[in-house]
Amino acid sequence: MKFVNIDVDEQGHSFFRDVDLPQYGTAQRISSRNQKVLWWKMTLSQPGHYVDFQRAPALMFVAVFSGQMNVTVSNGETRYFTRGDMLTMWDTTGQGHITQFVGLEPCHALHVALPDKGEFR
């Protein structure tokens, strides 16, 4: 399963890339292996809310349940995440990323802190 990932280069600049979480099983049911977690939280952000450059507080997995958030990395690229989208954030150092909540409905998201990158490649 592929995810969008925010990573950081040696100069501290954040960028997007794709990562893959291996899947196992049969055609009827596939899943990843269990991944360790440190903590999790739910957030509700209103349209118009803007968070300037900040780093992820930990290695994070984020799943969007409703609304839309736009994430911009330090090279200027913006990606749009909406219901059903998932991403990982490895930008715990460097400049970080910008998050802007847009659209007409609030953005509900699940944030899961990870102790390491697990099986993500």
Mean pLDDT, range 42-62, rounded to an integer: 97
For residue 8, tell me if it sits in a domain: yes
How far is 118 from 59, CA to CA, in rounded Å?
Answer: 10
For residue 119, tell me if it sits in a domain: no
Helices (H) and strands (E) in the chain, counts: 0, 12
Indicate which CATH number applies to the domain containing 30: 2.60.120.10
How many domains does the structure of the chain reveal? 1
For residue 70, tell me if it sits in a domain: yes
For residue 32, tell me if it sits in a domain: yes
pLDDT reading at 75 higher than 80: yes
Instruction: Give residue 2's pLDDT.
Output: 85
Q: Are 89 and 95 in contact (CB under 8 A)?
A: no
Residue 10, classified by CB atoms within 10 Å of its CB into exposed (0-12), middle (13-18) or buried (19+), is exposed
Render pLDDT for 78-119 as a digit per residue (tens, 0 to 9): 999 999 999 999 999 999 999 999 999 999 999 999 999 988
Instruction: Give residue 1's pLDDT.
Output: 82
Instruction: Give residue 21's pLDDT.
Output: 86
From residue 97, alpha-carbon distances to 17, 25, 28, 36 in Å are 14, 35, 38, 25
- For residue 61, the enclosing domain spans 2-114
For residue 120, tell me if it sits in a domain: no
For residue 85, tell me if it sits in a domain: yes
Render pLDDT for 3-50 as a digit per residue (tens, 0 to 9): 899 999 999 999 999 988 889 999 899 999 999 999 999 999 999 999
For residue 100, tell me if it sits in a domain: yes
Instruction: Give residue 56's pLDDT.
Output: 97
For residue 121, tell me if it sits in a domain: no
